Every structure is written in structure tokens, then in C-alpha cells.
Structure 1
């Protein structure tokens, strides 16, 4: 990529598309996508149909809704109208039935290009863990792909497989939920990202209160609590890194 997303935002032919992807679930991908979308003023398109995804965190309950925006968008070929968020990102919610009704990758890629142009705002697309049709489709048009890296053996194994498979994509690895990783794990991450030429962004620490948090607004929304301030500072740096990716 020859220019940063800041330059795309100023003079590109469309607003930027940011994807969040991981080959293993439970590594914080959806929280990362949720917070970065809010920081960038982007619409969050949720392609993760599991109940623990961003749509549930936002407050979308498909069993109480007559319409399923994500499914209808692909059925009709139209750009969905995002649900408006207050102190949280605007949302194109996923649906439990999406997993069984995924369009092929090229159709997902074309849809994202259509959506981002017609909405005329940045788009952050969260994906289902692992490689599936919708995930591969989201990755195709992405200007940058956020990849959380958790310092645990299973997570690093999954990350290494992902880097091997997607080495030609604009990946941006974010050390995530960082506690005090052993030196061997730090070295392993450094070695694999160096081997594949993948940039590593700012780290985000582990916060024990995040997994049990029930509030729907973005953690980085104002006013920021004293407890949340360190996390928000780190997310600010991640968002700035995303916008300057490729500079």
C-alpha cells in the first residue's frame, strides 16, 4: 500500500475499509474492532454471527427484530442502513442465520466496496474467527487488517498459520491482552512477523474488567473513567497506527 489511510481519507476514491480478523476465537478481535470503529468514526459491519460478537455487545437482539439488515443487504443487493449508535459505533448487525447463508467471497468484497462508497464513511468489518467465505471476502478490499496477537501457545500457533496463509494481505499485528509474556513468546512473535514482513502496532494490555463488562457504549466514549483511561490511551495509539498504516 503506497499511501496511508489518512491520505485515502483526504483524497482517495472512497473511504477506507479496515478489517479485524483472527484464526482463533477468544483473542479480543471483536472488542478491538468495536473500539477502533468508534475512534475512527466508522460504521461497524459485523460478519461474526456468533452470539458473543460485536452485535450482541452493541445491544442488537435479532430475536426481537423483524428485519435482519445483513441478510437483507445480500438478498436485495442494497446497502443496509446502519443502526445509529450513541456513544458507540453505528452498526450493520450480523444475524445467527448468516453462517449458513454466507455469500461467496467475491460477492462479499463487492458488497463492502458498494457499502463504503454509498455510506461515504470509513467501514470497520469484524469477521468470524478462522477462514470462511465471508472472512475471505471481507479481507479482499481491506486497506488494513487488524490482527490481535495474544501471548499464548494456541493463539500464537493460530497466528502463525494465518500469517503464512495471508502474507500478501495488509496485515497489522496488535499485541493484545498483554500481561507479562515469557521471553520465548515475545521472541516467537518477533521472529514470525519479521519472517513474513508484517508490521507490529502498539500493544494493548490485559484488563481483567473488560471480559465481565456489561455496558454497551464504547469503552473509549466520553467521559472516560479513571479505570478505563489506560486502555483508551492504548486504543488511541492503535487507531492512529491504523490511519497511518502504509505511510
Structure 2
């Protein structure tokens, strides 16, 4: 069963659609792995991973060891913990028990900064994620550390879909092009993030379209730039609100659309592989 995006998606209807999408994904995306990865930091990767995980009712596996990653943003503080749940699971060979997120954030498996010095091989990470997804029998969203590293490579090898966010700028476009070239043959989707429609942005938007055409990569709905997001202190998913604030409607609608597009793209990949 394919979930349809309503033609008129606005206001509280967006929140009703997210609730429906969460139920649909839990049933139809079991064991599906979606990875969020980029060659460059600072493109909104961890925030997008968090919102995808929430909108798809997925377990969020955080492979980003920096303090700016998803785990800390959701309230998991490594300095208050003695062990890394993710590394403990890898060392023991057991499937980790996700930290419950309740109604306001995704369930989480954090790693923390010790992952940097104790990186598993790509093959080990790949096999572990596939096994965890099977044991949880749920969709999984994986956030990754930017650039090349073994855990991220393993996650991308396990993924049914890799979402690669980009913001606008010359360096970002070069990084996106390199990522697309180096991952030819992967099931990718470009997610334009923090988009503003001004004259200076036009060449970069055209460059995204060119990269997408060259490497035959779909492009998601754009995610707009909003000033308040960078200073937001709430340790919850943006999309978890119960009533729609006017100031957040555009952003939450964009996240809902990207989650829906990611879900259908990942589902198609599983059907193609069957």
C-alpha cells in the first residue's frame, strides 16, 4: 500500500498527515534503512535525520561523534554517561535497546565521541545495522559523521536509500558533486536545505539540477531557511508539535514532504531488490 500526499497540505492537516505517515511507515517500512550522509558538515544533516526518523517512526542510529550531532540535540549527553550504547552493542554482538523517545522525539541509539577512536570496519557496521533493523522489525534512520569514515561507509552499504542534504554555496556544490560522483550506483536522493529564493541563490539551484541530471539522482522538495531553527533549544523533533504554529508551518510541511518522498523511494528500492 502506497501512502498518498494530500493535494492541499497545510495547517493542522500537515500534522494529521505526519501521524498517518508514522503509522504507515511502521507497517510498510519494517527493516528499511535510510541513511543521511554528506561530504560536508554544516548542511543540516543531523536535523534532517532527526525529523525523518520522527516522521517515519524509525529508530535513529547516530553515528556522528561530534557534539553538534542528533544525540545531544535530543538530550543525550555523553558526559553524563559511562558507556556508549552503540559501541557496547557492537562489542557484545547484541542488538541495542533504543532509548525511547515517546511522543516528542524518535527512539535513539547514540554512540558519543568515543566512536571516533573506536570506529568499526565498514563491513561490521553494515552487518550490524542490517541485523538491528531485522531484530527491531522497524524502519531505521542513520545519521552519519560528515566526510569519509568507516561507519558511514558501512551505513551507506546497508542503506536502501541515502539522503544527502546540501545548502547553497560554491563549496557545498563542489562537495555535492564529489559525493554524487563517488557514490555512483548508490540509491541517492539530494535534499536541498536552508533554501532561500534570492538572485544569489539561482546559480547554486541550477548547479543542483545539473548534478542531479548528470548522475540521475532525484531531488527532494526543498527545505526552507528559517532563522529560529539555529537557536532552537527544545530537545524534541520540530515535527512533534500537537498544534501547528504559523511560524513553523512552512518548515514542518517541508520535512513531511521530504519524509514522504524518502519513504516511497526506499520502499521502491526494497521492491526492486525482491
Aligned to 2:78: 62
Question: SS where residue 204 of structure 1 aligns?
Answer: coil
Alpha-carbon deviations, 1:4-56, whole Å to 9, x = none? 899997678x5210000010000000000000100000010000000000010
2:162 paired with 1:145: yes
Q: What stretches of structure 1 move > 3 A for 4+ residues in a row?
A: 3-12
Aligned to 2:241: 222
- 5+ long unaligned stretches in structure 1: none
2:226 paired with 1:207: yes
- Normalised by the length of structure 1, the TM-score is 0.93
Q: Is contact 2:25–2:139 with CA below 8 Å preserved after alignment?
A: no
* Distance (Å, rounded) in 2 between the aligned partners of 1:228 and 1:184: 27
Aligned length: 244
Question: SS where residue 19 of structure 1 aligns?
Answer: strand
Q: 2:52 aligns with which of 36, 39, 45?
A: 36
Deviation of 1:150 after TM superposition, in Å, equals: 1.2
2:93 paired with 1:74: no
Bigger mean CA offset, 159-168 vs 64-73:
64-73
Aligned to 1:97: 114
* Distance (Å, rounded) in 2 between the aligned partners of 1:123 and 1:103: 19
Aligned to 2:272: none
* Distance (Å, rounded) in 2 between the aligned partners of 1:177 and 1:148: 10
Aligned to 2:123: 106
Supply the RMSD in Å over aligned alpha carbons.
2.0
2:148 paired with 1:128: no
Query: CA 1:208 to 1:11, structure 2 compared with 1: closer, same or farther past 3 Å?
Result: closer
Aligned to 1:174: 191
2:43 paired with 1:20: no
* Distance (Å, rounded) in 2 between the aligned partners of 1:11 and 1:83: 22
- Normalised by the length of structure 2, the TM-score is 0.84
Question: SS where residue 238 of structure 2 aligns?
Answer: coil
